[in-house]
Each structure stands twice: as C-alpha cells, then as structure tokens.
Amino acid sequence: MKTAIYPGTFDPITLGHVDVVQRGLKLFDNIIIAVADSPKKSPMFDVQQRLDMVNATFVGESRIQALSFDGLLVNLAQTHQACAILRGLRAASDFEYEFQLAAMNRKLDADIESVFVMAREEYTFVSSSFIREISSMGGDVNALVPEAVRQHLPQGKG
Ligand code: ADP
C-alpha cells in the first residue's frame, strides 16, 4: 500500500486542491490530507474549520483521510508510513518555494519523495488567497470552491 501526504494550509480548500488530490489517487493507494496549523499565516479559518471543510468535501472517500498537524511534516509522514509528499504546481511562481521545501524535506528524510502534479488548466489561477480576497469583496467564487466551503465564505452567506 502506497500512502502519500498532501500538506497545505487549505484556507480554504479550493477545487484546485481537489484536483490535485484526484490526480494523487491515480498514483497512490491512500492520501492523507494534512491541514497545517500555520499560525504565522494568520489564516481566515481556524485549523478545525479548515479540517471540517476538507472532511466534508471528501466524505465517503475511503482512500482519503484528513488530519491537522503543527509539527514537522517528515515526522508526520514517517508516523503514517507515507512514501511521498504530494504537492501541486501552478505557475513558475510556485516553483521556487516548492523547490526549497522539497530540498529541505529531502535533507530531513531522503526516503520520502516529493511528487508534483499540475491541476487542470482552469484551476491554474485558483489560490486560497484569491478566494478569500475576492469573496470578502463580494465577488462570486462559488465555481472555484467545493460545496462545503461556499456556505462559509462572506459572499456565500450574503
Ligand atoms: P501552503 O501554505 O502549504 O502553500 P496551500 O493550501 O496554499 O498551502 O497549498 C497546498 C499545495 O497545493 C501547494 O503545493 C500548492 O501549490 C497546491 N495548490 C494550491 N492551489 C492549487 C491549484 N489551483 N492548482 C495546483 N496546485 C495547487
């Protein structure tokens, strides 16, 4: 059984994230979505709310498990015997950060591979920060987030 960990802030989860997970399921038997506490990012939703939205999005999917974490990612991967860290790439702008992260994780544990997938073209411009910003100004982002997120966005409550 091959397990991958998909870490992120998921503030909130978007259809870009969902697409990454679906691609990961073609490569791995199980995916653990690890919702990082990320207090330094001052998230809009607290970690429990973010985890609840992830769980609601993948309800009934037996190969997907979600949890929250605030420690070192490689320790989490080791605990769950994950062989890979799954990440998504959008534009070249993601590369620099992802490259550093992958290199650092490899330094910490050379046995865990970082695997990158690209989401569908229509989601390449989708980011949680855009979702937060646009919805806070009353913009309609319903087509870009899962159902479980819509009701929690400012414009969704309208
Ligand atoms: P982090 O704070 O770890 O960057 P995010 O929730 O912003 O957390 O992103 C988690 C991962 O998902 C990152 O690898 C990011 O590049 C990827 N990702 C986010 N949105 C998309 C998207 N629309 N298409 C492809 N990958 C994405």
What is the mean predicted confidence (pLDDT) over 21-27?
98
pLDDT given for residue 126 in this prediction: 96
Among the four given CATH numbers 3.40.50.620, 3.40.50.300, 3.30.43.10, 3.30.342.10, the one describing domain 3-122: 3.40.50.620
Nearest CA owner, ligand 1 atom 4: 8
Q: Ligand 1 centroid to 69 CA: how many Å?
A: 16
Q: What is the mean pLDDT of residues 19-26?
A: 98
User: Which atom of ligand 1 lies closest to the CA of 116?
Assistant: 14
User: Structure tokens of 51?
Assistant: 């985890």
List the domain boundaries for the chain.
3-122
How large is the average pLDDT for residues 106-128?
96
Question: Mean pLDDT in the chain?
Answer: 95
Residue 157 confidence (pLDDT): 54
What is the band of 93 on the pLDDT scale with cuts at 50, 70, 90? confident
The Cα–Cα gap between 30 and 148 comes to: 22
**Ligand 1 pocket mutation pick from 15, 53, 90 by most atoms within 8 angstroms of CB:** 90
- pLDDT tens for 129-150 read 999 999 999 999 999 999 999 9
pTM: 0.96
**Long-range CB contacts for residues 121-124, cutoff 8 Å, separation at least 24:** 123/14, 123/15, 123/16, 123/19, 124/16, 124/90, 124/91
